[in-house]
Chain A
Amino acid sequence: MTSFFRLYLNRLLPQLIALAVIVVAVSLVFPGFLNLEIQNGRLYGSLVDILNRGAPVVLLAIGMTVVIATKGIDLSVGAVMAICGATAAAAITSGHSLAGTLLITLAVGILCGLWNGVLVAVLDIQPIIATLVLMVAGRGIAQLITEGAILTFNDPGLIFIGSGSFAGLPMPVVIWLVFGVLIAMLVRRTALGMLIEAIGVNRQASTLSGVLTPVLLIAAYVLSGLCAAIAGIIAAADIRGADANNAGLWLELDAILAVVVGGTSLLGGRFSIAASVLGAIIIQAINTGILLSGFPPEFNLIIKAAIIVVILVLQSPRFRTAFAFLVPARGASKPSERAAK
Chain B
Amino acid sequence: MQTSDHILSAIRIEKAFPGTRALDKVDFHLRRGEVHALLGENGAGKSTLIKCLTGAYRRDGGAILLDGTEVDPRDTFEAQTLGIGTVYQEVNLLANLTVAENLFLGRQPRRFGMVDVGAMNRRARELLADYELDIDVTRDLASYSVAIQQVVAIARAVDLSGKVLILDEPTASLDAHEVAMLFRIVRRLKARGLGIVFVTHFLEQVYEISDRITVLRNGQLVGTRETANLDRRALIAMMIGRELAAEIHAPRAQTSEGPLRYRFRNYGRKGRVRPFDLDVRAGEVVGMAGLLGSGRTETAELLFGAHSADSGQAEIDGRAIDLSSPRAAIRHRFGFCPEDRKTSGIIGDLSVRENIVLALQARRGWTRPISRAEQNRLADHYIRALDIRTADREKPIKLLSGGNQQKAILARWLATEPEFLILDEPTRGIDVGAHAEIVKLIEALREKGLSLIVVSSEIEELVAYSTRVIVLRDRAHVAELDGNRLTAHEIVEAIAATNERRAS
* CB < 8 Å A-B pair total: 83
Q: Chain B, 158-179, contact with A by CB distance < 8 Å: what is the 0/1 string?
A: 0000000000000000000000
* A35 proximity list for chain B (CB < 8 A): none
User: Complex: how many Å from CA A208 to CA B370?
Assistant: 19
* B365 proximity list for chain A (CB < 8 A): 191
User: Complex: how many Å from CA A197 to CA B344?
Assistant: 15
Cβ-based interface call for B112 (8 A): no
Given contacts A198-B354, A335-B394, contact A270 B349 (CB under 8 A): yes
- Judge whether B336 and A197 touch: CB under 8 Å: no
- Judge whether B359 and A209 touch: CB under 8 Å: yes
CB-contacts of A260-292 with B (<8 A): 269-270
* B370 proximity list for chain A (CB < 8 A): 191
- Judge whether B412 and A209 touch: CB under 8 Å: yes
* A210 proximity list for chain B (CB < 8 A): 326-327, 330, 359, 362-363
A191 to chain B: closest CB distance in Å?
4
Q: Which residue from B306, B363, B369 sits with its C-beta under 8 Å from A208?
A: B306
- Judge whether A195 and B350 touch: CB under 8 Å: no
User: Complex: how many Å from CA A341 to CA B359?
Assistant: 18
User: Complex: how many Å from CA A334 to CA B343?
Assistant: 23
Cβ-based interface call for B43 (8 A): no
User: Complex: how many Å from CA A212 to CA B338?
Assistant: 18
With CB as the reference atom, state the residue of chain A lying closest to B306.
A208
Cβ-based interface call for A194 (8 A): yes
Q: Which residue from B346, B362, B375 sits with its C-beta under 8 Å from A212?
A: B362
B19 to chain A: closest CB distance in Å?
10
User: Complex: how many Å from CA A296 to CA B155?
Assistant: 61
- Judge whether A208 and B344 touch: CB under 8 Å: yes
- Judge whether A206 and B369 touch: CB under 8 Å: no
User: Complex: how many Å from CA A152 to CA B494?
Assistant: 80
User: Complex: how many Å from CA A213 to CA B327?
Assistant: 10
User: Complex: how many Å from CA A334 to CA B399?
Assistant: 14
User: Complex: how many Å from CA A154 to CA B304?
Assistant: 60
B54 to chain A: closest CB distance in Å?
21
- Judge whether A198 and B372 touch: CB under 8 Å: no
A209 to chain B: closest CB distance in Å?
4
User: Complex: how many Å from CA A192 to CA B327?
Assistant: 17
With CB as the reference atom, state the residue of chain A lying closest to B371.
A341
Given contacts A191-B361, A195-B366, A202-B343, contact A208 B354 (CB under 8 A): no
Q: Which residue from A190, A197, A207 sits with its C-beta under 8 Å from B369?
A: A190
- Judge whether B343 and A204 touch: CB under 8 Å: yes
User: Complex: how many Å from CA A270 to CA B365?
Assistant: 20
Q: Which residue from B326, B327, B343, B369 sits with its C-beta under 8 Å from A341?
A: B369
* A42 proximity list for chain B (CB < 8 A): none
Given contacts A192-B366, A197-B350, contact A208 B336 (CB under 8 A): yes
Given contacts A190-B369, A197-B350, contact A206 B338 (CB under 8 A): no
Interface size on B, residues (CB 8 A): 35
* A209 proximity list for chain B (CB < 8 A): 326, 358-359, 362, 412
- Judge whether A195 and B345 touch: CB under 8 Å: no
- Judge whether A195 and B362 touch: CB under 8 Å: yes
With CB as the reference atom, state the residue of chain B lying closest to A194.
B354
* B327 proximity list for chain A (CB < 8 A): 210, 212
Cβ-based interface call for A201 (8 A): yes
CB-contacts of A154-201 with B (<8 A): 189-192, 194-195, 197-198, 201
B328 to chain A: closest CB distance in Å?
9
CB-contacts of B336-360 with A (<8 A): 336, 338, 343-351, 354, 358-359
With CB as the reference atom, state the residue of chain A lying closest to B330.
A210
- Judge whether A201 and B368 touch: CB under 8 Å: no
Task: Give the one of B327, B343, B412 with max A CB within 10 A.
Answer: B327
User: Complex: how many Å from CA A274 to CA B155?
Assistant: 53
- Judge whether B361 and A194 touch: CB under 8 Å: yes
Cβ-based interface call for B367 (8 A): yes
* B364 proximity list for chain A (CB < 8 A): 191
Cβ-based interface call for A205 (8 A): yes
- Judge whether B346 and A202 touch: CB under 8 Å: yes
With CB as the reference atom, state the residue of chain A lying closest to B369.
A191
- Judge whether B369 and A189 touch: CB under 8 Å: yes
- Judge whether B346 and A205 touch: CB under 8 Å: yes
- Judge whether B350 and A201 touch: CB under 8 Å: yes
With CB as the reference atom, state the residue of chain B lying closest to A321.
B18
* B369 proximity list for chain A (CB < 8 A): 189-191, 341
* A341 proximity list for chain B (CB < 8 A): 369, 371-372, 375
Cβ-based interface call for A211 (8 A): yes
A313 to chain B: closest CB distance in Å?
22
CB-contacts of A316-341 with B (<8 A): 334-335, 339, 341
* A204 proximity list for chain B (CB < 8 A): 343-344
User: Complex: how many Å from CA A270 to CA B345?
Assistant: 18
B116 to chain A: closest CB distance in Å?
37
- Judge whether B326 and A208 touch: CB under 8 Å: yes
With CB as the reference atom, state the residue of chain A lying closest to B327.
A210
- Judge whether B358 and A206 touch: CB under 8 Å: yes
User: Complex: how many Å from CA A192 to CA B362?
Assistant: 10
User: Complex: how many Å from CA A202 to CA B345?
Assistant: 8
Q: Which residue from A191, A194, A202, A205 sits with its C-beta under 8 Å from B368?
A: A191
User: Complex: how many Å from CA A194 to CA B304?
Assistant: 23
User: Complex: how many Å from CA A189 to CA B366?
Assistant: 10
- Judge whether B330 and A190 touch: CB under 8 Å: no
- Judge whether B358 and A198 touch: CB under 8 Å: yes
User: Complex: how many Å from CA A38 to CA B364?
Assistant: 50
User: Complex: how many Å from CA A216 to CA B350?
Assistant: 18
- Chain A residues engaging chain B, CB cutoff 8 angstroms: 189-192, 194-195, 197-198, 201-202, 204-212, 216, 269-270, 334-335, 339, 341
Q: Beyond the given A205-B338, A210-B330, could you list 16 further A-B residue pairs with CB under 8 A, ordered by the A residue number?
A: A190-B366, A191-B361, A191-B370, A194-B354, A195-B361, A197-B347, A201-B350, A202-B343, A202-B347, A205-B346, A210-B326, A210-B362, A211-B362, A216-B366, A341-B371, A341-B375
Give 28 pairs: A residue, B residue, CB < 8 Å, sorted on A.
A190-B366, A191-B361, A191-B364, A192-B366, A197-B347, A197-B350, A198-B354, A198-B358, A201-B347, A201-B349, A201-B350, A202-B344, A202-B346, A202-B348, A204-B343, A204-B344, A205-B346, A205-B347, A206-B347, A206-B358, A206-B362, A208-B304, A209-B412, A210-B362, A210-B363, A211-B362, A212-B362, A335-B351
Of all A-B residue pairs in the complex, the 5 with the closest CB atoms, nearest first, are A341-B372, A210-B362, A191-B369, A210-B330, A209-B359
